[in-house]
Chain A
Amino acid sequence: MEAEGAFLGAGISLRRRHLADAIVHPEAVDFVEIVADHYFAGDARTRNELGAIRERFTVVPHGLDLSLGSAEGISDRYVRRLKSVIEAVDAPYWSEHVAFTHAGGRHIGHLAPLPMTFEALDVLAANIERVRKKIDRPLILENIACSFDIPYGDMDEPAFLANLVERTNCGLLLDVANLYYNALNRGLDPHAVLAAFPLDAVVQCHLAGGHRAKGEWIDSHAFPVPEAVWQLFEEVVRRAPRLRAALVERDENLPPYAELAAEAARARAIMTSARTIAMKRAS
């Protein structure tokens, strides 16, 4: 499977407001994820920023708007920009979502869910193949947060993702918070959903905290990782043999860098403990 490799550890999704602190204290995290789209401008400021980040961290670019699930295909221009960021930071791999963001000439501006159908799998596989011809770094695919499914699918999400992995050989980025909130919004047991998830293919995890509004859970990345998500993550760590990285995401109510780094340290401790146990068992 693509993107398998050395243990990266625990990181954060780096936002500009934390950049100065991160540059002074790079030792607080093992790696960072950057939103690739934020660095497409290619002006002096973004180039300098990317250079400063690259000098201090292993960097995993995260795409938001490639729209891998678009039946009308993907933008070559977007792929070129993505490629330039991925190469600028010499990324070990990069990530995108199992979703679509463009259709019928409209830019939705947010990740939209795909129907869990064989037709959608065909579209994803074709678009991923097209991207691979341009970007030679491994791609991992993330499950999105959405409070509803497109009705009349051919399968459920875990089966859809397992099929996708089999078709494309891509690893998975399991957003544990997305899985948790999606399960709650559908009245499902998150642990049961996790049990069906293709954990063998999980290479990286996202951890975040959301909130409840108007009866729905929203993965807003606005709060610390809740205990329930940490518990699910512990289960993932025990059962995902290819897991090499986990990171904490925060986009709103940004806390000090040290606070995020402390959450990353907790993720690191969980992964390290599980790896130690696994190595002892193996020996």
Chain B
Amino acid sequence: MSLREMQSALAAVFTESDARERLATNANTFARKYGLDARDLQQLNALSSAAIATYVETLVRKRRGEAARYLPRTQRELGRGFVQAFDTWARSTTTPPGRHAALKDAVAFCRHARHDGTLLPKQREAVRSDLREAIAFVRRTWFVPRG
């Protein structure tokens, strides 16, 4: 068994609904894609889908907690609805790569939510306001002039 291949397969299963579906419906194709041998696959199959589902929910919760740091107005205006809105969106997306993943998540969520027709105008304005702040933060911290 190679830990590297196993971790790569696990990362896909934890972050991508497509990978979870492939593992459940066509395990051999999944194993070939990630270079897993029969024992690796046996190991992955021994993980219950309920355990993986719980992990995925924890991941969504974690993403929400981290992204929420950049979404103060959205949280305030959406109240309890923020949890549902963010979690529903996060389940259909993957964790962004690289540094500032939480900030990227916050920006992507705002870009999605600002067009959400179910939000009240005041709530959409809060989303837009957080989006402007987040983008300004990105500009301040990522694009520092050289020299």
Contact = CB atoms under 8 A, between A and B. Distances in A.
Contacts of A213: 57
Contacts of A236: none
A106 B97 contact: yes
A265 interface: no
Interface residues of B, number: 43
A71 B58 contact: no
A112 B54 contact: no
B48 A107 contact: no
A119 B7 contact: no
Main secondary structure of the interface of B (DSSP, over half): helix
A252 B11 contact: no
Query: In which size bucket is the chain A interface?
Result: 35 or more
B62 A115 contact: no
A160 to B, nearest CB: 14
Nearest to A75: B99
A67 B58 CA distance: 18
Interface in A68-120: 69-72, 77-78, 100, 102-110, 112, 115, 117, 119-120
Contact of A109 (B3, B4, B8, B62): B62
Interface in A145-179: 146-148, 150-152
28 contacts: A43-B140, A71-B3, A102-B11, A103-B7, A103-B11, A104-B9, A107-B95, A107-B96, A108-B11, A108-B59, A109-B15, A109-B62, A109-B95, A110-B55, A110-B63, A115-B3, A115-B43, A147-B51, A148-B47, A148-B51, A148-B54, A150-B43, A152-B39, A152-B42, A152-B46, A213-B57, A218-B54, A218-B61
Interface of B: 1-4, 6-12, 14-15, 34, 39, 42-43, 46-48, 51, 54-55, 57-59, 61-63, 65-66, 69, 94-101, 137, 140-141
Please list the 8 inter-chain residue pairs (A to B) with the smallest Cβ-Cβ separation, ordered nearest first.
A104-B8, A109-B95, A148-B51, A103-B7, A71-B4, A151-B46, A103-B11, A71-B3
